[in-house]
Chains A and B, each alone.
Chain A
Amino acid sequence: EPEVTQTPSHQVTQMGQEVILRCVPISNHLYFYWYRQILGQKVEFLVSFYNNEISEKSEIFDDQFSVERPDGSNFTLKIRSTKLEDSAMYFCASTRGQSNYGYTFGSGTRLTVV
């Protein structure tokens, strides 16, 4: 069964450093997402990406965040200057279409900012 692959599985970084979280979505999926889950809290939407541009973003997704699909397969989330409160599990997901399509989630990247 096709999978969404995320790397790394765990990253520790110092406050103020830049991090790039990587995802390889399923090849015939068209919509790509980043979600995050702070420990003990519910999963929150960050951003959706379609046709090589951001289609929707939440209020969490400020200027410190950016997304890219540089080569048609990888989908990356960059945090420019990490803060302690960015510590969370970050999930990539993809779907074939909007609303009435199932999601496939990656296994997540646990980001710890120290």
Chain B
Amino acid sequence: KNEVEQSPQNLTAQEGEFITINCSYSVGISALHWLQQHPGGGIVSLFMLSSGKKKHGRLIATINIQEKHSSLHITASHPRDSAVYICAGAASGSRLTFGEGTQLTVNP
């Protein structure tokens, strides 16, 4: 059974702090997605990783295939980064298995 576990569940930071959210996944998952969900509920895709590292603006995502672990980093965090961040794994088909999400709150 494909599984994805995230930590922490909740994270509160001060504006400007460096933030890391972690995700571990099970054997069988070949690609890892990082998603952002805003209070209104909509989901936005941030990254899709099968190896290495990707960067977009202040967001960086890394994946270690041997350890089955991925991290999402936010540099110079800002209150507008407050959202739920979700990692989701894709197995040999294309369905995604979602983690529980990390509620991030960045205070000014």
Contacts and interface: CB of A to CB of B under 8 A. Distances in A.
Interface of A: 31, 33, 35, 37, 42-45, 48, 55-56, 58, 89, 91, 95, 97-108, 110
Contacts of B66: none
16 contacts: A33-B94, A42-B98, A42-B100, A43-B43, A55-B93, A56-B93, A89-B41, A95-B94, A99-B31, A99-B90, A99-B93, A100-B48, A103-B96, A105-B45, A108-B43, A110-B41
Interface residues of B, number: 26
A48 B96 CA distance: 10
Contacts of A42: 86, 98-101
A9 B31 CA distance: 30
Interface of B: 30-31, 33, 35, 40-45, 48, 50, 86, 88, 90-101
